[in-house]
Structure 1
């Protein structure tokens, strides 16, 4: 049996067996985020979806009003004549077939990879490298686009991709624990609204089954998701 630290035991004692109002849950998240580094505020949302069915898939993006709190390194793969433009639009890395070869050899010093549609046929061979890391460009994720400026800026400012896992749960970070309570609440509300807006056609029964928030090293806090809808 895994030993629970004194810090975690003290934090767990603060959690009551009840659904917290969103603002109360976030206040408790900040209170229990007492590790020796600035932790990420995480949301774990169980949905009434079975991802083995095509009409119950969920994959989309959300722009967090107050960003993620992390510096996002954006790479762009495009045709040679557009590489300079991508760098001028604030991409950290940009290239064409040369960058594709570098990635095949192991270069992965970026958090988001954007591609223009005209280069996509050449990117197919990167699937085995990028797929397991969730970095493969996709139109649904907003990472295959002709509008490089808008896409780069959105991801830099806090645009997040999310998807349902095989158990029907969405996991994502919605800020840092040193954000204000109001900023974290705004970000969590944006996540809720995005998931609601992108509800798959095949969803049946109760859509939001449960919503828990936590800091990276903190305990899970159950949230009344209905009250987010009312915000």
Structure 2
């Protein structure tokens, strides 16, 4: 059996693993049990009572966190020349088309989000084998394929994130950094959870939100009472 480090023991001593905490208490506790020296991300994992293998139970969407994620998101706008300056003015880190398509074909994916236009999806489609596994493929459902490129870029920079239930029925999302005030972590997490509640598929039966856990990088998870949302 692996030995438990001193820092982890200290974190576990502050946490009751059998308790369901309110979202407010969990947001404060996750800061207190963090042991990293860097500004760790705060993540929420939500296990849903859905079967992701069925199209009518797929949960996927976007949410704009009121306080952002705390991460400097790199955005690439794959757009026609007439839209390049518009994308850059909105905050895109990179903007262009053919030259970036060639870079991606060569394996370059040093971005967090790609925004594009419907008219150029024909060129981007073949990049699916590179972008798909990395979660970078633009999609109209997440607002990353649009004619209003400037708004899409500014939304992403302001804290808009997309989420998708994985094959185990779990949604994973970053809702801030441990340097955030507890109230800001709570408000971000609450916005995500309320969005998920509104998206409950009609085909999903039984308990929809089965469990919620909040953690920072390398910290134990804090279990949250879904009734506190």
Which has the larger displacement, 194-203 or 133-142? 194-203
SS at match of 2:10: helix
Show the counterpart of 2:116. Answer: 115
Distance 2:76 2:32 in 1: 36
Distance 2:182 2:86 in 1: 38
- The alignment status of 1:201 with 2:202, answered yes or no, reads yes
Show the counterpart of 1:158. Answer: 159
1:30-80 superposed Cα distances (whole Å, 9 cap, x missing partner) = 100121111111101000011000101011011000010010111011223
Shift of 1:211: 0.3
Distance 1:202 1:90 in 2: 40
1:81-133 superposed Cα distances (whole Å, 9 cap, x missing partner) = 22232222221101112211111112212110001000001111110110010
Show the counterpart of 2:227. Answer: 226
Distance 2:55 2:98 in 1: 33
1:145-173 superposed Cα distances (whole Å, 9 cap, x missing partner) = 11111111110011111110000000111
SS at match of 1:131: helix
After TM superposition, the runs of 4+ consecutive aligned structure 1 residues lying more than 4 A away are none
Distance 2:47 2:125 in 1: 32
Show the counterpart of 2:170. Answer: 169
Q: Give the TM-score taking structure 2 as reference length.
A: 0.96
Distance 2:93 2:36 in 1: 31
Show the counterpart of 1:69. Answer: 70
Alignment of 1:12-23 (within 5 A): 12-16=12-16, 17-23=18-24
Checking the alignment, whether the CA contact within 8 Å between 2:11 and 2:35 is kept in structure 1 is: no
5+ residue gaps, structure 1: none
5+ residue gaps, structure 2: none
Which has the larger displacement, 101-110 or 61-70? 101-110
Distance 1:67 1:154 in 2: 10
- The alignment status of 1:189 with 2:190, answered yes or no, reads yes
Show the counterpart of 1:97. Answer: 98
Shift of 1:29: 0.6
Shift of 1:3: 3.0
Number of equivalent positions: 228
Distance 1:140 1:197 in 2: 16
